[in-house]
Amino acid sequence: MSEPILYLKEAMIFQKESLILKDVTLTVNPGEFVYLIGKTGSGKSSFMKTLYGDIPLKQGEGSMVDFNLRTLKEKDIPYLRRKLGIVFQDFKLLPDRNINNNLKFVLKATGWKDSVKMSSQIENVLDKVGMKTKGFKFPHEISGGEQQRIAIARALLNDPELIIADEPTGNLDPQTSVEVMKVLQDINKAGRTILMATHDYALILKFPSKTLKCDGGKVFEVVQRAV
């Protein structure tokens, strides 16, 4: 049995001095697609930030793509993040450069040197999200849904073990949300593990999968009822 991608046992998640989530125990295995749901203020963001090293794990056990979250040092955080792909609600594309150069910027920042390999990897990830012909466009020249596809492509650049998608459809209309979900589903079917925070219950009904809920200071698995 392969090691879990994410493992937490009796983890206490703090935001500064405030305890946000207590006794969090859960496992995410390779290849799973997991939703994280919960009202605004229920601790979803703090939970996500703990996973990629933005908030330290002070109590309990936790490992994330083979990094021990309890003993994670500041200098190790970039190495942890290289094993993750993070997709945000608001795309976070650099407006002053085209899509290819947005992606090249990330590769250079994470240590890539060979320009031929960089170009090949950029073409590869754009192809995976159906945006192969859009590399020369600037972010303002493409739609919100296309920008989010580019953000997903960017998350794939370093071949991550886990993609953390934080409300990736939050700024999109229902039709575009479904299109973006299909991209994520295809990436998941190709073997990539995905943890997605969402408010969009219609998407969960349409693409049912393992669901974790933040509520009342706890995180627990929700059993989906057969419709």
Q: What mean pLDDT comes out for the span 30-37?
A: 96
Long-range contacts of range 114-121, CB-CB < 8 Å, 24 or more positions apart? 121/157
Whole-angstrom Cα distance, residue 170 to residue 153? 18
Length of the chain, please? 227
Convert the pLDDT of each residue in 72-111 to its tens digit: 999 999 889 889 999 988 888 999 999 999 999 999 988 8
Whole-prediction pTM: 0.92
Convert the pLDDT of each residue in 199-223 to its tens digit: 889 999 999 999 999 999 999 999 8
Write down all domains in the chain, each with its CATH number in brackets.
6-83+160-222 (3.40.50.300)
